[in-house]
Chain A
Amino acid sequence: DQQVKQNSPSLSVQEGRISILNCDYTNSMFDYFLWYKKYPAEGPTFLISISSIKDKNEDGRFTVFLNKSAKHLSLHIVPSQPGDSAVYFCAASDWGTSGTYKYIFGTGTRLKVLA
């Protein structure tokens, strides 16, 4: 049972344009969401997070939107740069219920930014 889904395995975007990566979840107890970026042969790197009490969080070129009613979150990267080419994972946690670090990850979306 995949509780966190990233339905697009890959995405190509022109440099300077917006990249939008999507993530859907099924567990309504999830209350904390994160996005990670992963380069080959490296561990995932934290990008941005959002708590379920918010619907938007922004950090530089990265913005995460949360739609709780649709159980959907998205990551916007503006403007996209070639260095953003990587695999992006969304993750979710039911911290408020469990109080532990059990993050459920999606299967990832490979972003390719074309110069």
Chain B
Amino acid sequence: KAGVTQTPRYLIKTRGQQVTLSCSPISGHRSVSWYQQTPGQGLQFLFEYFSETQRNKGNFPGRFSGRQFSNSRSEMNVSTLELGDSALYLCASSLDWAGGPREQYFGPGTRLTVT
């Protein structure tokens, strides 16, 4: 079974621009979460989507947004980029069932550099 894929893997943008990152979850996984990883901060939860609906959200400004499509693929968008947005953005997918939580499977990430 193919793992979580993220595109692009690397991206360089200028302050003020916007960017869209893409994530394809493992087949059959309907929950997709996004995380931001910066040095010293660990992984910070951005948001989680399930069945095209945002189910949970972290403490990030409104410049960070996302969506999920009917095939469970997800995109996240960052508008008006700031230098502090430079980070590794990780997408994770999970099987969702009523029996309880399951582990998340992560993609390789998109390394965003804002200059």
Closest to B105 in A: A46
Decide: A44 near B58, CB < 8 A? Known: A95-B100, A105-B35. no
Contact between A44 and B90 (Cβ–Cβ < 8 Å)?
yes
Chain A nearest CB, measured from B66 CB (Å):
14
A89, B43: Cβ atoms closer than 8 Å: yes
Q: Is B56 an interface residue (CB 8 A)?
A: yes
- CB-CB contacts below 8 Å: B27-83 with A: 31, 33, 35, 40-45, 48, 50, 55-56, 58
A-B contacts, 13 of them at CB < 8 A, read A43-B106, A43-B107, A89-B43, A100-B48, A100-B56, A101-B104, A102-B45, A102-B48, A102-B56, A105-B43, A105-B44, A107-B40, A107-B41
Interface contacts beyond A101-B96, A105-B44: sample of 10 additional A-B pairs, CB < 8 Å, sorted by A: A36-B106, A41-B108, A51-B100, A100-B48, A101-B31, A102-B33, A102-B45, A106-B42, A107-B40, A107-B41
Check: A34 CB closer than 8 A to any chain B CB: yes
A49 to chain B, nearest CB (A): 6
Closest Cβ–Cβ distance, residue A33 to chain B (whole Å) = 10
Q: DSSP majority for the B interface?
A: strand
Most buried by B among A32, A42, A43, A93: A43
Could you tell me how many residues of chain B have their Cβ less than 8 Å away from some Cβ of chain A? 28
Question: Which residues, 1 to 33 on A, are CB-close (under 8 Å) to B?
Answer: 4, 6, 32
Interface residues of A in 39-59 (CB under 8 A from B): 41-46, 49, 51
Considering the complex, give the chain A residue whose CB is closest to the CB of B109: A43
B21 within 8 A of A: no
* A86 CB → nearest B CB, Å: 13
